[in-house]
């Protein structure tokens, strides 16, 4: 049986987007994000981060720094009894990437490559899944990948961002998502092994412009 997923953008949804966040000292988590992830866990959803990380490609921080920060972030969720099942990221930029990272790839949102890879890796029910992002490109990628329920997170004061009705629904608080998980709550599936520090197929993925993932 295919599993539903909660897809989350990282910067601007999981944590405050203060610009190329890659150190714990600059990471401020969004209110209720741990509650949302716990609710999704209890309801049997896979929780998947889908994040553009052009800071790697631009040379602002290294792949190792990103990996170390991501492991710290996953541990922060685990300490609060919340689990992120997989992290997919795109390090490329078509104009400002350096060396192998300067690439018009299939994984950088609004392209759907990361979501499609997650679908195939985790056997996901995309029409029944949710995507939460803070930019149109997040929702565009989700729509192209067939994600059925798409939400643009625009906190108070940012409501002037236009949103075509066909693209998704606007929410001002992450807590507005809780009813989705409360109505679907079930016995939590067996805990899968947590992400390791290995990024699978890193070299091949970067050369081909494919998404890379923590597994």
- Active-site positions? 9, 11
DSSP string, 32-55: THHHHHHHHHHTT-EEEEEEE-HH
Burial class (CB in 10 A: 0-12, 13-18, 19+), 98: exposed
110: preceding bond cis by omega (within 30 degrees): yes
**Token duo for residue 81:** 């009894």
Question: Sheet of 130-133: strands edge to edge?
Answer: 169-171, 149-153, 130-133, 5-8, 46-52, 86-90, 212-214
Residue pair 61/48 in contact by the 8 Å Cβ criterion? no
Which residues have CB under 8 Å from 201's CB, separation 6+?
Answer: 210, 212
Alpha-carbon distance values, 26 to 20, 69, 136 (Å): 10, 11, 25
């Amino acid at each position: 049986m295919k599993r539903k997923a909660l897809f989350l953008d990282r910067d601007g949804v999981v944590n405050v987007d203060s610009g190329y966040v890659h150190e714990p000292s600059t990471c401020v988590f969004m209110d209720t994000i741990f509650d949302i992830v716990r609710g999704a866990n209890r309801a049997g959803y896979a929780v998947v981060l889908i994040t553009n990380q052009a800071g790697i490609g631009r040379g602002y921080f290294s792949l190792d720094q990103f990996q170390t920060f991501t492991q710290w972030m996953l541990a922060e969720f685990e300490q609060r009894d919340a689990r992120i099942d997989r992290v997919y990221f795109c390090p490329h930029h078509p104009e400002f990437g350096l060396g192998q990272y300067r690439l018009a790839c299939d994984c950088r949102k609004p392209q759907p490559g990361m979501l499609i890879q997650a679908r195939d890796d985790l056997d996901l029910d995309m029409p029944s899944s949710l995507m939460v992002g803070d930019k149109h490109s997040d929702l565009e990628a989700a729509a192209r990948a067939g994600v059925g329920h798409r939400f643009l997170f625009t906190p108070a004061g940012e409501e002037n961002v236009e949103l075509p009705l066909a693209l998704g629904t606007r929410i001002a608080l992450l807590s507005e998502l809780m009813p989705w998980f409360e109505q679907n709550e079930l016995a939590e599936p067996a805990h899968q092994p947590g992400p390791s520090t290995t990024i699978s197929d890193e070299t091949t993925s970067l050369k081909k412009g494919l998404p890379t993932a923590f597994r």
